[in-house]
Chain A
């Protein structure tokens, strides 16, 4: 199994297209950091515009606000919505790409079971997803910490301001990146399932993105009819639950309590639903692939 996984990773990282996603992430993060370095105050004015009526925002507060943790949170908000596309590039290609190249039939004449073959393919796409997130963490979190320094993290929700002490932030990022890994693996699993049906990788990649976009829009609908009947069961509803790690509990004086999360059971429930989706998608992919005649 390990030998097959090494082969799969070798194949993935020998392809130039693999590095598109790494390049895209680097470009977005660096452009955002450059913008924030030279025009961060204006950006903050825009963000604070909505809350300045309720809170007094001093220049000192603003300068504290613009730190590495805040920049990383802003980047994650932007990128974690786009990253499914980057993940689908590899997962959607995993089986369909081999079918398209004609290497699928040669690979399946080797003494490797189809289940093993599929599991290795999926594991490789998980590793690729993890490496993308590590790359994002290096650039967005550690890069921003290096450029902008660290301070308390303040984030703005519709009517709430969450403030976390500097020493209480890093573990939240570790948890958030871990959660994002599971969320992106769900997309990866969907692309992987669709890849079984196709003979070129464009189809599964576009189909995955279309499904993610439609379901994300549905998850965002504020229509009571969907709130309890549809939204709780959509994986896209649960993909954004990583933000929950930055929602902290407050004491009677409305001061944040270090090391707390407002609603951990909700995060765990969302995590569980994503895992069920992953198992469902991958299980279906293997079941279908085992029965499939290879005609390409």
Chain B
């Protein structure tokens, strides 16, 4: 039996007439990387702010480490590190001064050596004495993560941690999250709109829409990562579409979108399909496998079917 680090029960937040979060319940277990997914305005940030006591819930309960959040706020927050949206810092101070300030506010005595180690971990040690106003967005993001980690919290909450990062920066953050989870046994709750990233790092996830839970569960149980939707683009898509309908590949066709023909197939089937397309003398321009989690997410949050079927 796993321990619940975060237990959210029937959480609701009303802003006047707008229900930002609506009867939301979920559980984050110890040691998990928990993905918190939803489109913009779905209620992710509001929920995270309630988890960090920045916003008071209209109703519902939050327990963290088995304690009621509002009754044991200080005790709980001592063991929580967070970034909310973008890491806004004191721009007129250096990275080390920012880290020292927020470290001291965390209620834990932190040595200068530890501060430098944290900056080293996020690759900012050589810029420790530079003012934050000279930092790029990616560097600020990494400093924000160092601040979230400096007091060695058990629970780390990261709201859109890869926002504004370049591909290398995103990969660095992904590796850091995996390292924190696997090597330091931290529990992480991460909200992100980069669903492909979430698939790579999350153990479990919740998808919310209009403040309500759409689905929650283990990532590998929620969708089959081997099943994929392929966008096939050829020199003459109308002719190809007709040929495919008369071939053995007809069962794979899911319709057309823009200039592409959509095929749904298992990844093991891809080499065989490619061979058949060659044998059928179809001039393939591109064969793009769409991300299945992204597709799944869109189907849940926009109401579109999992695979869009459009007939000519």
Contact = CB atoms under 8 A, between A and B. Distances in A.
Interface of A: 3-4, 7, 10-11, 14-16, 101-103, 105-113, 291, 293-295
A106 B93 contact: no
Contact of B54 (A10, A101, A294): A294
A10 B106 CA distance: 17
Interface stretch (B3-11, B81-89, B294-302): B81-89
Contact of A295 (B55, B74, B86): B55
A111 B77 contact: yes
Nearest to A114: B53
B93 A11 contact: yes
B75 interface: yes
Interface string B204-219: 0000000000000000
A5 to B, nearest CB: 11
Interface in B74-119: 74-78, 80, 82-84, 86-93, 97, 101-102, 104-107
Contacts of B104: 3, 7
Which 8 pairs from chain A and chain B are nearest by CB? A102-B88, A110-B105, A294-B54, A111-B74, A111-B77, A293-B55, A111-B78, A109-B52
Interface size class on chain B is 20 to 34
A14 B98 CA distance: 12
19 contacts: A4-B105, A10-B101, A11-B93, A14-B90, A14-B97, A103-B88, A103-B89, A105-B84, A105-B88, A109-B77, A109-B80, A110-B102, A111-B73, A111-B75, A111-B76, A291-B56, A293-B49, A294-B49, A294-B55
Contact of B90 (A11, A108, A109): A11
B55 A107 contact: no
Given A3-B104, A15-B92, A103-B89, A109 B54 contact: yes
Interface string B160-172: 0000000000000
Interface in B181-201: none
A291 B52 CA distance: 15
A110 B53 CA distance: 10
Contact of A110 (B56, B84, B107): B107
A7 B147 CA distance: 16
A112 to B, nearest CB: 6
A110 B88 contact: no
Nearest to A107: B105
A12 to B, nearest CB: 11
A294 B45 CA distance: 11
Nearest to B51: A109
A293 B75 contact: no
A206 to B, nearest CB: 23
A105 B105 CA distance: 13
A109 B50 CA distance: 10
A101 B91 contact: yes
Contacts of A4: 105
Nearest to B109: A3
A4 B106 CA distance: 11
A103 B101 CA distance: 11
Residue in A14, A108, A110 with the greatest tally of chain B CB atoms within 10 Å: A110
B53 A108 contact: yes
Contact of A106 (B53, B76, B84): B84
A192 to B, nearest CB: 20
Contacts of B89: 101, 103, 106
Residue in B49, B53, B54 with the greatest tally of chain A CB atoms within 10 Å: B54
Given A101-B88, A109-B77, A111-B75, A7 B105 contact: yes
B74 A113 contact: yes
Contacts of B92: 14-16
